[in-house]
Amino acid sequence: MKLTKLLERLDYNILQGSDEIEITELTNDSRNVKKGSVFVCITGAVRDGHDFVQEVAEKGATVVIVEKEVEAPEQVTVIKVEDTRYALALTSAAYFGYPADELKVIGITGTKGKTTTTYMVKSILEGVGHKVGLIGTIEAIIGDEIIPAKNTTPESFTIHQYFRKMVDAGCDAVVMEVSSQGLMLHRTAGIPFEIGIFTNLGEDHIGPNEHKDFDDYKRCKGLLFKQCKIGIANVDDAHFEDVFKEATCQIETFGFSEKADLRANDVKLVSSPGHLGVAYKASGLLNFEVEIDIPGTFSVYNSLTAIAVCRHFDVPVTKITEALKTAKVKGRIEMVKVSDDFTLMIDYAHNAMSLESLLTTLKEYNPKRLVCLFGCGGNRAKARRFEMGEVSGNLADLTIITSDNPRFEEPQDIINDIKTGISKTNGNYVEIIDRKEAIRYAIDEAKVGDVIVLAGKGHEDYQEIKGVKYDMDERVLIAEVVKESKRENLIR
């Protein structure tokens, strides 16, 4: 590939060398540099790519793209741009042959609801014959290939690499989670989004290496709606107008409000043995009855979002209702059927805000008891432990405190911090360090009508202890506990 082709959508200056040369690879990782590579110097929180210019030149890099002055050997072409993260996004698109131009790209941003909504949209569209790729918090899905995720929104090079694989696999659409970090760091720059979605906004991701304040968080969310054709928004959210104040797209809304273009009316909670859900009537742009096997008001919002998106793909109502009834997301209020006597679920809620939202929702179903089992990760902010302990103590009838990913901390020390939070409440609790034994206790002691939540792990299938990740999937632990319980009963 000619360097000019790689740079064709960028404004740049040539500080040294020529842009008429042939190049072989594009990378921002010095470890991946080969002869003929273009190395993009990214300034990160820990390392600065500009410091590696001499090293990559020795490895054979023929071009470096920079945003500040560097000293480079005379045989290396130096390209200066205003922002190397933005440059990485646009050169990555060119490097992979602009695969996003061959896909209908759907981007979902918001504090909550992104993950569930991506799976709902994927399920509905595939039900009418579309082949849909997915990029999200849990994984990337490309045809039959599943790639565990490291970031909600990957680096731009990886995004376009995935897009190329999707096109080659026959995909005609992709639905992806778009984080505020991803927008701020230009990971999605230049992507021609067909549809952008705003779910909601809460106080989150504010702090070092994230957003300096809430206004910056809102501003970054709004960036998506400057690069999509259609923006679909939750009109009920208090920050809707702020997020969309500089939007350049066509705007549609959903929600409970009469102002919404697509509305939910007559919401009813649905429950049966071992199962919780919600039903409502969609009205406005479309009119039909909806039922979902996922509980809570947020499930109504997530499904409205999916309906609003799929309307633009001319999906028949019957196909939408079928897909929503069976839509499941691993680790997001994931029901695990153990008994008709009680309801057991796994959820990723791992901070106070998400845990409070989940437990408040489940209390609306008036369970006999609401039982919450959780732990907190080691080597993370202690405040989270106190806050989650207090939330569970206030809302759950019984809290089972156990281990999560202790990392390099002692599990008992983490549990003691959680107990400090619970001590501010009148909540009942037990502490069982071993997570499998904690799950066994929850199941063995369950009463008819209980709702039991295993919180914090969600889709994760490991336990991180002293720098080592051990296999640990709660679905497997539940199955083992049930099997062992049946065996004990037979012996008796």
What angle do the packed helices 114-126 and 317-326 form, to 10 degrees? 130
Q: Count Cβ atoms below 10 Å from residue 246 Cβ, excluding itself.
A: 11
pLDDT tier at 492, thresholds 50, 70, 90? very low
pLDDT tier at 486, thresholds 50, 70, 90? confident
pLDDT tier at 235, thresholds 50, 70, 90? very high
Average pLDDT over residues 159-175: 98
Q: Which CATH number fits domain 3-95: 3.30.540.10, 3.40.1390.10, 3.30.40.230, 3.40.50.2300?
A: 3.40.1390.10
Output the six-digit token pair for 174. Answer: 């992709």
* 255, pLDDT greater than 90: yes
Average pLDDT over residues 185-189: 95
pLDDT in tens, 423-436: 999 999 999 999 99
**Summary mean pLDDT of the chain:** 94
Question: Is 403 within 8 Å of 375 (Cβ atoms)?
Answer: yes
pLDDT in tens, 449-477: 999 999 999 999 999 999 999 999 999 99
Residues 334-491: name the CATH superfamily: Mur ligase, C-terminal domain (3.90.190.20)
Q: Give the closest residue to 161 by CA, choosing from 113, 224, 91.
A: 91
Q: Which CATH number fits domain 99-326: 3.40.80.10, 3.30.70.1350, 3.40.1190.10, 2.60.120.1440?
A: 3.40.1190.10
pLDDT tier at 210, thresholds 50, 70, 90? low
pLDDT tier at 205, thresholds 50, 70, 90? very low
Question: Same CATH topology for 99-326 and 334-491?
Answer: no
* 359, pLDDT greater than 60: yes
Q: Which helix (H) or strand (E) holds 174?
A: strand 173-177
Q: Is the pTM of this model over 0.85?
A: yes
* 208, pLDDT greater than 70: no
* 130, pLDDT greater than 90: yes
pLDDT in tens, 367-383: 999 999 999 999 998 99
What are the domain boundaries of the chain? 3-95, 99-326, 334-491
pLDDT tier at 18, thresholds 50, 70, 90? very high
One DSSP character per residue, 249-307 reads SEEEEEESSTT-SEEEEEEEEEEETTEEEEEEEEEESS-EEEEESS-SHHHHHHHHHHH
What pLDDT, on the 0 to 100 scale, is given for residue 42?
96
pLDDT in tens, 440-451: 999 999 999 999
Q: Count Cβ atoms below 10 Å from residue 101 Cβ, excluding itself.
A: 12
Average pLDDT over residues 110-137: 93
pLDDT in tens, 87-108: 999 999 999 999 999 999 999 9
* 151, pLDDT greater than 50: yes
pLDDT tier at 211, thresholds 50, 70, 90? low
Dihedral of CA 137/138/141/145: which sign? positive
